[in-house]
Structure 1
Amino acid sequence: MIKVARLKAQDEFILNAELIETIEETPDTVITLTSGRKLIVEESMDQVVRKIMDYRRALQGKFR
């Protein structure tokens, strides 16, 4: 799970990183989920990718 903020709403929410299909910058960051739902977030594409990598690293460490 990663924490992101909706664009211009400043509402933070938790997103299941396993459901992310694509991330684009158009120039806003658009996250498309496996369900087809699209979310526009404040974070850059690089920031979202970094959060996903941190999340997955944390999972790996948990099961060692």
Structure 2
Amino acid sequence: MIELTRLNGSALVVNSDLIKYAEASPDTTLTLVNGEKLVVLESCDEVVARVSAHRARLLADAAKLFPAGSAAAIAFASAMRVLDAEQAQQEPSTGSNIDGVHRRRKADY
């Protein structure tokens, strides 16, 4: 979950896995996978940065659960490689598609 700000200044916590894409028109509008739209104060770049930081924290926390070299750690790493390969095969969208940005930035983790 990432914390964002509505236009009226109230805090909003969003499940970042549900963000389909973000667009600036001129306010940042998030479209969720269910079609719901949210307008927030943060820029598209800031939304992407928060989603990236959230996912990096999740991956770091998951990695701590498995001792290095254990069968579970090897299985986890293998699963992550499969997910990376599947995402790389998908055609990334132009603009600020959240998933497309993460495919390009995954190497930054």
**Fold-level similarity (TM above 0.5):** yes
Structure 1: 4+ residue segments shifted above 3 A? none
Q: In 2, Cα distance between the equivalents of 1:47 and 1:3? A: 11
Q: In 2, Cα distance between the equivalents of 1:63 and 1:2? A: 18
> What secondary structure, in the 3-state scheme, does the structure 2 residue paired with 1:49 have?
helix
1:1-40 mapped onto 2 (5 Å cutoff): 1-7=1-7, 9-40=8-39
Following superposition, the deviation at residue 53 of structure 1 comes to 0.2
The runs of 5 or more residues in structure 2 that have no matched partner are: 64-109
Following superposition, the deviation at residue 6 of structure 1 comes to 0.4
Of Structure 1 and Structure 2, the greater helix share is in 2
Matched pairs, number: 63
The runs of 5 or more residues in structure 1 that have no matched partner are: none
Deviations 1:15-44 (A, max 9, x none): 000000010000110000001000000000
Q: TM-score, normalised by structure 2?
A: 0.57
- The Cα RMSD (Å) is 0.4
Following superposition, the deviation at residue 13 of structure 1 comes to 1.3
Q: TM-score, normalised by structure 1?
A: 0.96
Kindly name which structure, 1 or 2, has the bigger radius of gyration based on alpha carbons.
2
Identity, in percent, stands at 38
Q: In 1, Cα distance between the equivalents of 2:62 and 2:2? A: 19
